[in-house]
Amino acid sequence: MASMTQNPDTVPFLDLVTPHEELEEELVSVFRMALRRGRFSGGSMIARFEADFGMFCGTTCCVGVASGTDALRFALLAVGIRRGDAVITTPHTFMATAEAITQAGAWPEFVDIDARSGNLDPSKLEEFLEKACWIDAKTGCAISKRSGRMVSGVIPVHLYGQMADMDPILALSRRFNLKVVEDACQAHGAAYFSRQDDCWKRAGSIGDAAAFSFYPSKNLGACGEAGAVTTNDETIAAKIRMLREHGQNQKYMHDIEGYNGRLDAIQAGILSVKLRYLPVWTEQRREHARRYGQLLQVILEIQRPEELAYGKAVYHLYVVRVQDRDALQRELTQAGIGTGVHYPMPLHLQKAYARLGYAHGDFPVAERVAAEVLSLPMYPQLTCEQQDRVAEACRGHFQRSAGLRVAGAVSL
């Protein structure tokens, strides 16, 4: 059901009202409990959410922090990335992935993506490590020829809710001595079948550490800002507990300099409530993706997202690719259908990273994908009627533009 505040003829890109209407009593009672206890920072609501979310991801440790960006930055610092190191990631991601690298004092090195998933391409990672690096004989570490820096880590991003191909990435990381921090900010509950270990693994349980965001629009979203780091390494978890709280080990005893990066107690309570619904919401997203697939398959101009056989995607976003993306987006906007572009400019071409010295053409796949992606409405409460309306508007657009092309040809 669309919410009361929305025009029933439109399809919003995102609906953050309906799910909270359903949960209003439970969520308000979290706030009421915090008020009555006067407990807004630290305490049992945080400990409980950390235990719940660690269990959900299949990791022994989970540390709540203030945002996904903090989670990434703290994870890099805690796994041992040092000032001046280089960390590899994909140029086709949200800005925060690269910001975390530079804010941890390191230098981003980009590697191009697999066109099917939009995720870091393991074969290009291998090529980068073998051909664009030399091996320091003393340490055995890879040194980037481009930046002259020691490559000490990699951040695979599980973009749109589909996991990066982790087996070959982990094999390369072992071979070249890289720390692996998963950016799982869009992949709560996504799964990966490891052929290496012959078992399913959840996003966030595979690297040395992983970062989650609970920004309101994420699959598991707070009513404000929140994030978490998951890991199976108690030493890394302990380091993150220090980093989030000014480097303190016990009250006013600071072993290192840290940050104010704590998870808010009320958000933790809200997240515990919402986590119980996440498996159902994920199945709804997957069902919507299946149905979009059926509705859109007749439109040959639209390339639907591909779910790779190694995993189970959680469809944070439903991202199609089309040649003339901007025209389709304009048309959908006029039809009252909300869309998004994730993301229109790859990070290596961002003004903020001019100093990295990349140019157009450096990552051709990421550049092509950025020009073609369009995110259609996707959320658990999306209705069949809304999906039909989206598909109908897409069909209308391509019929009209084909008609225009034919008419243009005739008039020649």
Ligand X SMILES: *Cc1c(COP(=O)(O)O)cnc(C)c1O
Residue 148: burial class (beta carbons within 10 Å; 0-12, 13-18, 19+): exposed
Work out how close the CB of 142 gets to ligand X at its nearest, in angstroms, rounded to a whole number: 25
227 binds ligand X (CB under 6 A): yes
Cα(44)–Cα(50) distance, integer angstroms: 10
* Contact yes or no for 259/243 (Cβ under 8 A): yes
CA neighbor of 330 nearest in space, from 397, 378, 388: 397
CA neighbor of 374 nearest in space, from 324, 302, 325, 308: 325
* Contact yes or no for 219/281 (Cβ under 8 A): yes
Judged by CB under 6 A, the stretch of 19-27, 40-48, 64-72, 105-113 that binds ligand X is: 64-72
Which residue, 103 or 401, has its beta carbon nearer to ligand X?
Answer: 103
SS3 content of the chain, % helix, strand, coil (to 5): 40, 20, 40
Work out how close the CB of 96 gets to ligand X at its nearest, in angstroms, rounded to a whole number: 4
Can you tell me which of 87, 185, 203, 295 binds ligand X, judged by CB under 6 A?
Answer: 185
Which residue, 375 or 387, has its beta carbon nearer to ligand X?
Answer: 375
67 binds ligand X (CB under 6 A): yes
Work out how close the CB of 183 gets to ligand X at its nearest, in angstroms, rounded to a whole number: 5
94 binds ligand X (CB under 6 A): yes
Q: What are phi and psi of 401, to 5 degrees?
A: -70, -35
Work out how close the CB of 255 gets to ligand X at its nearest, in angstroms, rounded to a whole number: 26
Touching ligand X, residues 123-182 (CB under 6 A):
157
DSSP codes, 44-58: HHHHHHHHHHHHHHT
215 binds ligand X (CB under 6 A): yes
| Residues binding ligand X: number (CB under 6 A) | 14
CA angle at residue 231 from 182 to 127, to 5 degrees?
30
Which residue, 185 or 270, has its beta carbon nearer to ligand X?
Answer: 185
Which residue, 186 or 387, has its beta carbon nearer to ligand X?
Answer: 186
The DSSP bridge partners found for residue 167 are: none
204 binds ligand X (CB under 6 A): no
Work out how close the CB of 343 gets to ligand X at its nearest, in angstroms, rounded to a whole number: 9
Judged by CB under 6 A, the stretch of 28-36, 66-74, 136-144, 298-306 that binds ligand X is: 66-74
Helix (H) or strand (E) holding 398: helix 384-411
The residue with its CB nearest to ligand X is: 68
* Contact yes or no for 395/299 (Cβ under 8 A): yes
Judged by CB under 6 A, the stretch of 31-39, 89-97, 307-315, 358-366 that binds ligand X is: 89-97
Touching ligand X, residues 285-344 (CB under 6 A):
none
Work out how close the CB of 218 gets to ligand X at its nearest, in angstroms, rounded to a whole number: 6
Cα(217)–Cα(94) distance, integer angstroms: 14
Work out how close the CB of 79 gets to ligand X at its nearest, in angstroms, rounded to a whole number: 17
* Contact yes or no for 143/164 (Cβ under 8 A): no
CB atoms within 10 A of CB 67: 23
Can you tell me which of 96, 203, 236, 242 binds ligand X, judged by CB under 6 A?
Answer: 96
119 binds ligand X (CB under 6 A): no
Work out how close the CB of 333 gets to ligand X at its nearest, in angstroms, rounded to a whole number: 23
* Contact yes or no for 312/191 (Cβ under 8 A): yes
Which residue, 88 or 157, has its beta carbon nearer to ligand X?
Answer: 157
Edge-to-edge, what's the strand order for the sheet holding 107-110? Answer: 61-65, 227-231, 209-213, 179-183, 151-155, 86-89, 107-110
According to DSSP H, which parts of 244-324 are helical? 265-275, 278-296
Cα(207)–Cα(172) distance, integer angstroms: 12
Chain position carrying tokens 């450096």 = 362
86 binds ligand X (CB under 6 A): no
Which residue, 215 or 358, has its beta carbon nearer to ligand X?
Answer: 215
* Contact yes or no for 374/329 (Cβ under 8 A): yes
The structure tokens listed for 42 are 């630290």
Which residue, 213 or 386, has its beta carbon nearer to ligand X?
Answer: 213
The structure tokens listed for 382 are 């999306």
Work out how close the CB of 316 gets to ligand X at its nearest, in angstroms, rounded to a whole number: 7
93 binds ligand X (CB under 6 A): yes
Can you tell me which of 54, 64, 68, 204 binds ligand X, judged by CB under 6 A?
Answer: 68
Which residue, 71 or 265, has its beta carbon nearer to ligand X?
Answer: 71
91 binds ligand X (CB under 6 A): no
Point out which residues bind ligand X (CB under 6 A). 67-69, 93-94, 96-97, 157, 183, 185-186, 213, 215, 227
